[in-house]
Structure 1
Amino acid sequence: MRRHPTLAVQVRDRLRALIAERGLRPGDRLPSENELIALFEVGRTSIREALKLLEQEGVIQARHGDGRYLTSQPSLDRPLTRLEGVTEMLASRGHTADNTVLDITAAEPDRHQRELLQLPPGEAVVRLERLRRHEDDALLYSVDLFPRSLIARPLDEVDWTGSLFRLLAEHGHNVAYAVAQVRAVTLDETQAERVASPRDGAWLLLVQTHHDSAGRPLLYSEDYHRGTDFSFHLVRRRD
């Protein structure tokens, strides 16, 4: 039997959407409890429980006698079963990040890349390397690979700083699911130089192959999440 989310969880999710819709940034003040009660048409208890959930997740912090504010540093805990892009993930927590394109190239794929993306002979692969920063701190370093034929426009005419999922969808390719693996790693010397980060810190590497609804591989990604700012969770059940 499917379990429905509690009212507090529903209100928490509506609060996340409100933060994104209003473009609130770290340090901004949330509406008061009375304003939220009127806006969401729920009781004070549900509002307080939802706010407490956001506090526990590190999204907001309460200041005695002065309301609740978005935290100055992202603290991102996400269910591993939820498929979302980094841009969407940050927005759901009310955070924005500077997205820097480090490199974008189209080249002949190697054997491993050809097998991952099931590329036909002669098909080139696009390699997109990007870095997300928050207040000058590296949050996420990513390398994405996808078939060149998915994007009809010249590469230098595309804005690569936005959501890659959205860009693919605009060209008629919708990501439906992904096969993922996550593990803790340290950056190698080259990667550490690219992100201007010490090598001794732990990063969470999320490796994914994204498919459309027909099972066709659209995108292979390696996302390195800084371990002090990201965590992933999942629900485990006994058979």
Structure 2
Amino acid sequence: MTTPRRTLAVQLRDQIRDLVTTERLNPGDKLPSENDLIARFGVGRTTVREALKLLEQDGVVQTRQGDGRYLTAQLGLDRPLTRLEGVTEMLASRDLAVHNTVLDIQLVEPDEEQRHRLRLAAGEALVRLERRRQHRDDLLLYSIDLFPRSLVPQPLSEVDWTGSLFTLLSEHGHLIAYASAQVSAVTLDRALARRLGQPATVAWLLLTQTHHDSAGRPLLYSEDYHRGTDFSFHLVRRRD
């Protein structure tokens, strides 16, 4: 009985995010009350509280006891770093019409670091997937993903690689539960910048992650280059 309620809460969370954008609320502004949200969206109080809790976990809403809830971070493509989401999911949540292009898909022999990071068996190959995401003519994101060939057994040519890798892996019984991540500010090397048609001087946020299932098995290694003019990531830091 909890799954439908959870689904409604996730939908309402995104609707509240849209409300914040359309009403141009800024960090420090107060959100509508629970009663206002119930009346506006036609949902129950439990769903409203679950949706607001999700926004708190994202680090964009803070509850002030006896005074309601306040926005703590700017929305848009500002993302909570503690929330694990695939690139496809992240862009879809902002209703961006994104064109996903596969630049390259191939089997590769892992180097020692990759073999260690993904705990590969001797002789096991990697799938290397290289993609770009564009909104209209603007390149938003460039990514490289590596995962063991055994996770997706059908011929590579028969797979639609333009969708969510998280979804594809879950369809084969491999559910990503958490990731270890590192964020760094980088510029593209000149050869890659020319290949992508980007200035070599533009700053990018490189999010490097190793994704694991609930048992701790590494499933996926990714390097996602987010264009710095369009993306930011935030953390909520507390003293307690």
TM-score w.r.t. the length of structure 1 is 0.72
Aligned to 1:166: 167
Equivalent pairs counted in the alignment come to: 190
Deviation at 1:37, TM superposition (A): 4.9
Aligned to 2:27: none
Partners in 1 of 2:195 and 2:214 — Cα distance? 35
Report 1:71-90 matches (<5 A): 75-90=76-91
Aligned to 2:42: 40
Deviation at 1:193, TM superposition (A): 2.2
Deviation at 1:112, TM superposition (A): 1.3
Counterpart contact for 2:97–2:136, Cα < 8 Å? no
Tell me the SS of whatever aligns to 2:88.
helix
Aligned to 1:197: 198
Partners in 1 of 2:12 and 2:211 — Cα distance? 31
Deviation at 1:137, TM superposition (A): 0.8
Partners in 1 of 2:213 and 2:146 — Cα distance? 15
5+ residue gaps, structure 2: 1-10, 20-35, 45-60, 62-69
Deviation at 1:237, TM superposition (A): 1.8
Aligned to 1:238: 239
Aligned to 1:207: 208
Aligned to 1:157: 158
Deviation at 1:39, TM superposition (A): 3.6
Tell me the SS of whatever aligns to 1:191.
helix
The CA deviation string for residues 68-118 of structure 1, in whole angstroms up to 9 with x for no partner, is: xxxxxxx40110000000111111112131000000000211111111111
Tell me the SS of whatever aligns to 1:236.
coil
Q: Stretches of 4+ moved more than 6 A in 1? A: none
Deviation at 1:177, TM superposition (A): 0.2
Counterpart contact for 2:204–2:227, Cα < 8 Å? yes
Aligned to 2:129: 128
Q: Percent identity?
A: 69
Aligned to 2:58: none
What is the Cα-based RMSD across aligned positions, in Å? 2.8
* Structure 1 residues 96 and 188: CA distance shift in structure 2, 3 A: same
Partners in 1 of 2:226 and 2:42 — Cα distance? 34
Aligned to 2:99: 98
Aligned to 1:65: none
Partners in 2 of 1:108 and 1:212 — Cα distance? 23
5+ residue gaps, structure 1: 1-9, 19-33, 43-49, 58-74
TM-score w.r.t. the length of structure 2 is 0.72
* Structure 1 residues 106 and 93: CA distance shift in structure 2, 3 A: same
Amino acid at match of 1:40: G
